[in-house]
């Protein structure tokens, strides 16, 4: 579904670009309506892309388990923890052994921020 949304977005944007490029100095109402329609399709497809990362919002484990403590007001997760149970579990193990280097944390942050 995510891939289909991406294809739909690319197709709609290409079509919008083609329509815009072919417009004359005084575009007709029909041209303008057609452009608005295809841009709406692009917007809808772009909005659907945010579901690509799955329930965890994690780029590595998009369909993994959500940490049951996520969003718990009485026992909040430490700063930097996300919704992904697998990643949080790794963070907990790394926090328990502070002398261990954990380079994975940095790359994962980069992925998370770009997502
Ligand atoms: Zn994860």
pLDDT number for residue 60: 86
Q: How far is the CA of 87 from the centre of ligand 1 (A)?
A: 4
pLDDT of residue 23: 86
Rounded to whole angstroms, how far apart are CA atoms 80 and 15? 41
Global pTM value: 0.45
User: Of 46, 57, 53, 51, nearest to 7 (Cα)?
Assistant: 46
Q: How far, in Å, CA of 42 to CA of 36, rounded?
A: 10
- In angstroms, the CA 70 to CA 23 distance is 51
Nearest to 104 by CA among 89, 87, 92: 87
- Quick one: pLDDT at residue 63? 87
Quick check: helix, strand or coil at residue 112? helix
pLDDT of residue 5: 78
Predicted pLDDT of residue 99: 60
Ligand 1 mean position, distance from CA 36 (Å): 38
Q: How far is the CA of 43 from the centre of ligand 1 (A)?
A: 28
Name residues of the chain where pLDDT drops below 50. 1, 114-115
């Amino acid at each position: 579904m995510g891939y289909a949304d991406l294809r739909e977005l690319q197709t709609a944007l290409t079509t919008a670009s083609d329509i815009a490029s072919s417009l004359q100095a005084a575009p007709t109402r029909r041209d303008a309506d057609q452009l608005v329609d295809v841009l709406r399709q692009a917007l809808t497809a772009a909005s659907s892309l945010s579901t690509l990362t799955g329930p965890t919002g994690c780029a590595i484990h998009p369909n993994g388990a959500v940490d049951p403590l996520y969003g718990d007001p009485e026992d909040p997760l430490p700063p930097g923890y996300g919704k992904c149970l697998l990643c949080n579990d790794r963070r907990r193990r790394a926090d328990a052994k502070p002398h261990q280097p954990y380079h994975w944390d940095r790359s994962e942050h980069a992925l998370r921020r770009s997502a």
